[in-house]
Amino acid sequence: MGPLAGVKVTQLAGQGPVPFACLLLADMGATVTRVDPPGAPLRHPLGILQRGSRSAAVDLKSELGQEVGLRLAAASDILLEGFRPGVAERLGVGPERCLAANPRLVYGRMSAFGQDGPYSARAGHDINAIAVAGVLEPIGRRGQKPTPPLALVGDMGGGGALLALAAVAALLHARETGEGQVIDASMAEGAALLGTYLYRSWALGEIRERGTNMLDSGAHFYEVYETADGRYVAVGAIEEPFYRALLEVSGLAAEPLPEQWDRERWPELKERLAEVFRRRTQAEWCALMDRFDACLAPVHSPGEAPLDLHSVARGSFLERAAVVQPAPAPRFGKTPSEAGVPPSRLGEHTDEVLAELGYSAAERARLREARAVA
């Protein structure tokens, strides 16, 4: 199932962006084999990202394990790793050896800061990468310190999602030319790319102090407001028709108000709207949505979002192994994606993978005796 059916992906186990990239590829039909180190923890907070992949427990620190890794590379279309620069080479599965084994291979490398440069050898997670990229500093409210955006910008968006896109693009090239290549994916550079408009706005002086701009809670028409029951609604009434609807639904249309784009009056108007929204519950405000197209929506928790009537109608969420999670997206009209099996147990598919690579039962037994696999 899916547009990537038949594509074989090897994932060298890691955290965050590489597993997310592989989840996207698996949802779209690719067969993803994850190489886990024997004895690795069975659970991780981001373990849900292993949806749809198989687990082969292989010790890449051993020569026999490295041979397995190279056989996997030779049998794959795409290999993705998220180690610090140089680690894959030390494990014997760097791009030079893997491309020698398979010249058509797409070898994707994911790191915080890229494969070269002064920061390349530094440890770094999402928060570090987006800080260097200039994307973290603008996020937050006025008078408060920058707010980390839940690893969504560096790890998932600028990291995993862009890596998956690059891998598919390179795969198209490999199929047309027979030439594989190495992808150098940096979370910092990916996060910067996601914030492209920020750099232009900054250069033109359109972005001011954090929390005072249109999209960062500075504007009264693009803000989150508390309701009478202690919950919240999100307002995004940027365009004039939606802004007029906002004034109508809030009851302020009949009052003389400053021009929408008078930034000096935004704080005052936010206070007035905040007082208005505290008069009704979230449900009462949402009941008005059908009458007033004001770009107003309820703010759901992750537990509430799957129960929203729109999410239910579209099947936007699904349940796997008693865990409710987002369904594959976007949707394909001809080759629909499908969420794969729940995260696998460590080494659950080792024998299956080794057999596919041509190892006989006796050879598999010797690998286990040597503790090259588990």
Q: Is 173 a catalytic residue?
A: no
Q: How far apart are CA 136 and CA 195, in angstroms?
A: 10
Q: How far apart are CA 29 and CA 47, in angstroms?
A: 20
**Which string of b and e fits 334-347 if b means at least 16 CB within 10 Å?**
eeebebbebbbebb
Phi, psi for 174 (deg, rounded to 5): -65, -40
Q: Is 290 a catalytic residue?
A: no
What are the CA-CA distances from residue 92 to residues 25, 47, 73, 95, 174 (Å)?
25, 26, 11, 9, 23
Angle between helices 187-194 and 196-203 (to 10 degrees): 60
pLDDT tens for the chain, 374 residues long, are 899 999 999 999 888 999 999 999 999 999 999 999 998 765 565 678 999 999 999 999 999 999 999 999 999 999 999 999 999 999 999 999 999 999 999 999 999 999 999 999 999 999 999 999 999 999 999 999 999 999 999 999 999 999 999 999 999 999 999 999 999 999 999 999 999 999 999 999 888 899 999 999 999 999 999 999 999 999 999 999 999 999 999 999 988 888 999 999 999 999 999 999 999 999 999 999 888 999 999 999 999 999 999 999 999 999 988 899 999 999 999 999 999 888 888 999 999 999 999 999 999 999 999 999 99
- Look up the CATH superfamily of 222-226+232-298: formyl-coa transferase, domain 3 (3.30.1540.10)
Q: Could you count the other beta carbons within 10 Å of the beta carbon of residue 45?
A: 7
Q: Where are the domains of the chain?
A: 8-194+317-369, 222-226+232-298
pLDDT of residue 255: 86
Domain spanning 8-194+317-369 has what CATH number? Answer: 3.40.50.10540
Query: Of residues 27, 77, 126, 155, which has the active-site annotation?
Result: 155
Hey, what are 79's tokens? 């290999």
Would you list the DSSP string of 128-179? HHHHHHTSSTT-S-TTS-----TTIIIIIIIIIIHHHHHHHHHHHHHHHHS-
SS3 state at 115 = coil
**DSSP code of residue 327:** P
Query: Of residues 125, 173, 293, 300, which has the active-site annotation?
Result: 125
Q: Which of 4, 183, 177, 169 is nearest to 79 (CA)?
A: 183
